Chains A and B, each alone.
Chain A
Amino acid sequence: MSGDNIFTGLAEEHDGDARWAFGTGFTEALAGVDTTLPEGVDGEELARYCQMLGDDALVQAQRLSQWVTDAPELEEEVALANIALDLLGQARLLLARAGQADGTGRDEDDFAYRRDAAQFRNVRLTAAPRGDFARAITTLLVLSGWRLSLMSRLRESRDPVLAAIAAKAVNELAYHREYAVSWALRLGDGTEYSHERMAEAVAHVWPATGELFATHPVEARMAELGVGVDPATVAGEVHDVLAQVLTTATLGEPGPFPEPAVAGRKGDHGPELAPLLEEMQQVAREHPEASW
């Protein structure tokens, strides 16, 4: 870096690889990583699995980013943006892995910018409309707790790339959950008004939690091979955590999760995903030759 003036840096003659603004490692999240497939694993199926976990993170990151310039306090804005950035990083690694595993050579940008809503495999809750701060915290509490449980187990994956991505993700998700927990406690056990808003948020988010524990055939297959995690197996653990948090937050013991049913994992999304993607993909689609 050596304190180069940014304008000088941008104006210099480059060999195409000298400054990040002109595209460097951004399409190479897994550059130099040994991406050999584990024995007995179908690359296309592994790719579909990576895409599910990657899309969850990508869509949630995009939704969280909408708090930037709009959170109750600057500190919370920075916090949510940081969490979104971690998730975006996880998404980049997972989608890059998907493109390599299925042999199509698609890169992270192909996945992020050049697919329509029906081709996304995220669970619906990741795309849920932003709502108020209490809903954002409740959604983050549920999703970070769920993803933390999935990723903790995925550290044991037979696919060394997935295992490594998961090991990093666990460290990050642990403090994402901690952040959501601290706000859930503060709002739930706060004033009468904040308690009311938090209770409303939990009632609103809860019906969407069933899908998180529904097993798609790809997830079942990957779990069978010791490569992935069957989300149904983490339901008890996630419920225990949520029950502890909500009870301590004086929001009462939550009921059981709703009946699990696969939706987003098979491309069946609510109407909120398409406009979210439209915003995310606009620049890339309008300027297909652009690089960054």
Chain B
Amino acid sequence: MVTTLTDRDRAHRAAAAVTDPELPMLTLEDLGILREVRIEEDGTVAVWITPTYSGCPALAEMRVDVDRAVRAAGFAQVEVRTALSPAWSSDWITDEGRRKLSEHGISPPGQAPARTSGPVPLTLSPTRTVPRCPLCGGADTEELSRFGATSCKSLHRCRSCLEPFEHVKEI
């Protein structure tokens, strides 16, 4: 089989359009977890995705969805592989992804903490992220819980419009 740029592009497009089961407004590309799509010599489409959190249960679902989507695009052999390194960072969520999150009432992450090689410094009074309310745009918000319905989100409330909202955590 002669692999052309077009085939690879088609495979990539199919994989990239798969959505996250927990954040269905985001595609794998928006989330920044689609690492690479390659067509190997025997025609197998190899897709690398990376887990957001070590225990993210959505990854298994996404693997199956990628496999199905690429097959539906006309490729008979598909292998979905895990890329562990470098570890996913919320900084990889694209601008488009951030826009979609806001649009759906979820506050996008700010900049992730810098990754240094030494011991992780102890913070006794952690600087809390104060995200803007994605619903009314208000800046006066409070954290209700650092842990939310999924590993990647925390729960907040806007003091202006009084609505609770979710925020994608910086990691």
Residues of A within 8 A of B (CB): 1-3, 17-20, 24-26, 28-33, 75, 78-79, 81-83, 85-90, 92-93, 148-149, 152, 155-156, 160-161, 163-165, 167-175, 177-179, 181-182, 185, 237, 241, 244-245, 248
Contact = CB atoms under 8 A, between A and B. Distances in A.
Nearest to B67: A17
A88 B55 contact: yes
A177 to B, nearest CB: 8
Contact of A32 (B60, B64, B79): B79
User: Which of A1, A29, A169, A179 gathers the greatest number of chain B CB atoms within 10 Å?
Assistant: A1
A30 B63 CA distance: 12
Given A32-B79, A245-B124, A24 B63 contact: yes
Given A167-B85, A181-B122, 7 more contacts: A29-B82, A32-B81, A164-B84, A167-B87, A168-B88, A174-B120, A237-B119
B19 interface: yes
A9 to B, nearest CB: 10
Interface of B: 19, 21, 24, 46, 48, 51, 53-57, 59-61, 63-65, 67-68, 79-88, 113, 115, 117-120, 122-124, 126, 144-149, 151, 155, 169, 171
B48 A170 contact: no
B21 A1 contact: yes
A82 B55 CA distance: 9
Given A24-B63, A178-B123, A172 B53 contact: yes
B84 to A, nearest CB: 4
B122 A245 contact: yes
Nearest to A151: B120
B64 A31 contact: no
B54 A78 contact: no
B147 A79 contact: yes
A168 B51 contact: yes
5 contacts: A25-B80, A75-B155, A148-B119, A152-B118, A171-B87
A25 B60 contact: yes
A152 B120 contact: yes
Contacts of B149: 78
A182 B126 CA distance: 8
A170 B85 contact: no
Given A18-B64, A33-B81, A89-B55, A1 B19 contact: yes
B124 A32 contact: no
Given A79-B145, A245-B124, A89 B81 contact: no
Contacts of A244: 122, 124
A25 B64 contact: yes
A75 B54 contact: no
Contacts of A86: 53-55, 151
B144 A165 contact: no
B55 to A, nearest CB: 3
Given A25-B60, A168-B51, A18 B68 contact: yes
Contacts of B46: 32
A176 B24 CA distance: 27
A141 to B, nearest CB: 11
B141 to A, nearest CB: 16
A17 B79 contact: no
Given A32-B48, A89-B53, A168-B54, A25 B63 contact: yes
Contacts of A81: 147
A-B complex: 7 closest residue pairs judged by Cβ atoms: A32-B81, A89-B55, A89-B54, A164-B85, A164-B84, A25-B60, A79-B147
Contacts of B81: 31-33
Contact of B60 (A20, A152, A155, A160): A20
A28 B56 CA distance: 13
A90 B54 contact: yes
B55 A20 contact: no
Nearest to A234: B119
Nearest to A171: B171
A64 to B, nearest CB: 12
A92 B117 contact: no
